[in-house]
Amino acid sequence: MKRPPLLVAILALSACTAPAIPADPFEASGELIAFSGGAIGARAACSTCHGTRGEGDGHLAPRLAGLDRGYAARQLEHFASGARRHPQMQWIARQLDMTARQKVVDHYAAMPGPALAANTSAASCTGARIYHEGLPARGIASCASCHGSDGGGNPGNPALSGQSAAYLAHQLNDWASGERYGDPAGAMTDISRALHRADRQAVADYAAHLRGGGDDRTVPATCLQTRRPDRPGGA
């Protein structure tokens, strides 16, 4: 394959600092790709943006550690096809062949999810209610019904715990605007469009508080009290 001159330069540069890159890209392990970008070069080193433990940057680069391998591999396909837009991720996904994608995704899937400290800060009632109960009047199912009441996800539905509120809100806004598409049944597109922008932020803020690991949550009792006031005179 003929490489553009810039890439050749990057490869030559990265050879000084990165671990030895095997001549045959099929020999590169998932770990090598994660830390050095493998045959693609340092610009594709996942750890630069996603953290050395795959924990994410706490802002717009998500955590990859412990992410379901099928989900993560599908996202790389989405970036490659343009169903998800992000200049660097699209470039990287297009450079990685199927074998390299699977290896790097397996590497992250095998890593333990981030150890999350208990979060005791007050949750927004709007976000908590949307997460656990949905908005039946607008046809929005609860997020918990798919992503779990602990936000830990399952093979069909990705974990939301361990992702930053900024990243989660960004994804919901991208679905609403059509920047991100291609989720299997279109559920996230429909849900994001049906939510007002402020509700997307509120539910993202709430979901970022979830801790996964079976730490099941329900709508906080304080929110229920304000939601169901006794009607005057009973009834």
Q: Give the pair of three-digit tokens for residue 63.
A: 């955590």
Measured CA to CA, the distance from residue 216 to residue 218 in angstroms comes to 7
Q: Give dist(CA 211, CA 204) in Å, integer.
A: 13
Cβ nearer to ligand HEC, comparing 15 with 173 = 173
Asked whether the beta carbons of 115 and 213 are under 8 A apart, the reply is no
In contact, 13 and 42? CB cutoff 8 Å: yes
* 201 binding ligand HEC? (CB under 6 A): no
Minimal distance, residue 233 CB to ligand HEC, in Å: 35
Residue 129 near residue 193, CB atoms below 8 Å: no
The nearest distance, CB 230 to ligand HEC, in angstroms, is: 29
Site string for ligand HEC, 112-141 (x = CB under 6 A): ------------------x---------xx
Calpha distance 194→138 (Å, rounded): 7
Characterize 89-116 residue by residue with b for buried, 16 or more Cβ atoms within 10 angstroms of its Cβ, and e for exposed.
bbebbebbeeebbbbbbebbbebebbeb
* 86 sits near ligand HEC (criterion: CB under 6 A): yes
Residue 199 CB-half CA count within 13 A: 15
Per-residue mark of binding to ligand HEC, 141-170 (x: CB under 6 A): x-x-xxx--------xxx-x--x----x-x
CB 46 → ligand HEC: shortest distance, Å? 3
Among 28, 125, 191, 208, the residue binding ligand HEC under the rule CB under 6 A is 191
| 74 sits near ligand HEC (criterion: CB under 6 A) | yes
The residue (of 48 and 124) whose beta carbon lies closer to ligand HEC is 48
- Of residues 2-61, which lie at the interface with ligand HEC (CB under 6 A)? 33, 44-46, 48-50, 60-61
Residue 100 φ/ψ, nearest 5 degrees: -65, -40
Q: Which two tokens stand for residue 124?
A: 């927004």
93's tokens: 């996904």
Contact between 102 and ligand HEC per CB under 6 A:
no
The residues of the shown chain that bind ligand HEC, judged by CB under 6 A, are 33, 44-46, 48-50, 60-62, 64, 67, 71-72, 74-76, 84, 86, 88-89, 92, 104, 130, 140-141, 143, 145-147, 156-158, 160, 163, 168, 170-172, 183-184, 187-188, 191, 203, 207
